[in-house]
Amino acid sequence: MPESAGSDSVGTQSADAGGDAAPGAAVIITVERVYPLGAEDDSPVARRFDLTAAQENAIETAFAMGYFAVPRECTATDIAEALGIGKSAFLERLRRGQTRLFAGLFP
């Protein structure tokens, strides 16, 4: 099971099925993402594509600042500075966010 709320780790845990299941039957539970209580403030886009708030913010800011324009209107460093994070942190959030976005669009 993931170590803490907000983790993107994947884990599997076996549990007793109970209820109407056969005695001794097991249920496999796979945790794909743990949401902190109060995650209802996630935007519809974040919920639809399973983005973290940081990933959504990175994508939205990059789009607004012209990172996806041809030619680019800003650099990754410009966006990272606007977000108050390092360039590598921005690029990681962008890459992970794009991966989730594309996985939701092209399952």
Structural domains in the chain plus CATH codes:
1-39 (no CATH), 42-105 (1.10.10)
5 pLDDT higher than 60: no
Q: How many CB atoms lie within 10 A of CB 24?
A: 7
Residue pLDDT, tens place only, 16-25: 555 666 777 7
**pLDDT confidence of residue 15:** 55
Site of tokens 């109060």: 38
Q: What is the mean pLDDT of the chain?
A: 81
Percent of the chain at pLDDT > 70 equals 71
* CA 71 to chain centroid: 28
Q: Which pLDDT band holds residue 99 (cuts at 50, 70, 90)?
A: very high
Q: For the full predicted model, state whether its pTM sits above 0.75.
A: no
